Amino acid sequence: MATVILFIVIFGIVVISHEFGHFLLAKANGIHVVEFSVGMGPSLFSFQKGDTRYAIKLFPFGGACMFEGEDGLNTEEGEPGEGSFLKANVWSRIATVVAGPLFNFILAFIIALVMVNMILIRDPVATEVLEDGAAMEAGLEDGDRIVSLDGEKVYLYEELLLFTQIYSGGEVKVGYERDGHLDYTMLTPKYDESSGRYMLGISNADFVELKGLDGLRYAWYEIRYNVMTTYKSLKLLVTGRVSREQVSGPVGIASMVGETYENTKEYGWQNVLVNMMNFTLMLSVNLGVLNLLPLPALDGGRLVFLLIEVVRGKPVPPDKEGMVHFIGLMFFMVLMVFLLFNDISKIIMR
């Protein structure tokens, strides 16, 4: 029961944040919101307030903020009404569409700001260069601060771990600071049989003591880290480097939430809270990034049509755009069913 409750609360917070962004900007731009709903499927509970219906639906996956005129919703033949999405100017519509992902990032930043004051943060400093490791062979020494890997900036020790998890071979150009001076070396991570992954050959046991405005900076680093994790995971998925067993849908995420709760509850409520906040941060960033992808039915897909309208000076016919988004929606429904069965099969096979 705790797993179900935690999952619904986490998903609810992430989805409400996203849809509230759309809702707020729509209202500010005079766009009629027909329905604001959390979940999918048939309504469990709904009520009408003003000209908007608010609903909680059966399946706790996703949500919707439906506008008049969007994909032909609530429109009659002829000119769209004053509160129609189609009637608003193009920049108002762009702002309304972007607001959903933007509010996910705002939520994630607020959570990160609280979290960095509750967790132990490590800078990417080699407090110990391991004997016979890749770092030692590359000339790195205790106290060196890693600032880049193959030209990509590094701000957290966790980013070094992420790099080794997705490392695909070859030499790595490492930028590091020693005694205030920047230098570079080439390093080839070594495969460690015991951990089953590649290692840089450094460890870190020093934790950052936050002072002044450090919390804002490290909250930004946490958001950046989660964005990069999402982006790189998508890249691995597209290039076929992620197996079916490594992909999870809502049921799989709920299972992970439950396992994390069971593994951390003995250490106290603060430990549980931090882990649940981390899940919420991760999912909020994921939802923000994924919705900005230029795919039909997603916010990014709608932005493509709006930007085409900006360039050509007139909108794409609504019926044609609506058909593209409908096809995209059907694809994502099929994907959701696949993820559902994939999650269930993984649970059964344990």
Confidence label for 337 from pLDDT (cuts 50, 70 and 90):
confident
pLDDT tens digits, one per residue of 261-286: 888 888 888 889 999 999 999 999 99
- Domain tally, the chain: 2
136 and 45 assigned to the same domain: no
Helices (H) and strands (E) in the chain, counts: 9, 10
In a domain, 190, yes or no: yes
In a domain, 29, yes or no: yes
15 and 45 assigned to the same domain: yes
In a domain, 264, yes or no: no
10 and 91 assigned to the same domain: yes
55 and 8 assigned to the same domain: yes
Q: Whole-angstrom Cα distance, residue 52 to residue 37?
A: 10
Q: How far is CA 231 from CA 135, 149, 225, 228, in A?
A: 27, 17, 10, 5
113 and 128 assigned to the same domain: no
Residues 6+ apart with CB under 8 A from 157: 122, 123, 124, 125, 204
84 and 157 assigned to the same domain: no
Please report where in the chains the tokens 């890249």 appear, as a residue: 235
Our CA dihedral for 21, 24, 27, 28, rounded to 10 degrees, sits at: -110
31 and 109 assigned to the same domain: yes
Residue where a domain stops, chosen among 160, 180, 206: 206
Q: What pTM does this model have?
A: 0.88
In a domain, 295, yes or no: yes
What CATH number is attached to the domain comprising 130?
A: 2.30.42.10
- Residues spanned by the domain of 315: 2-117+282-349
170 and 98 assigned to the same domain: no
In a domain, 179, yes or no: yes
Residue where a domain stops, chosen among 146, 172, 206: 206
106 and 136 assigned to the same domain: no
Residue where a domain stops, chosen among 206, 241, 266: 206
In a domain, 130, yes or no: yes
In a domain, 83, yes or no: yes
In a domain, 156, yes or no: yes
98 and 139 assigned to the same domain: no
pLDDT tens digits, one per residue of 169-199: 889 999 999 999 999 999 999 998 887 889 9
pLDDT tens digits, one per residue of 36-84: 999 888 899 999 998 899 999 987 778 889 998 876 555 555 566 678 8
107 and 129 assigned to the same domain: no
Which has more confidence, 315 or 300?
300
Going by C-alpha positions, the residue among 321, 281, 249 that lies closest to residue 97 is 321
7 and 105 assigned to the same domain: yes
Q: Whole-angstrom Cα distance, residue 31 to residue 96?
A: 9
CA 332 to chain centre: 17
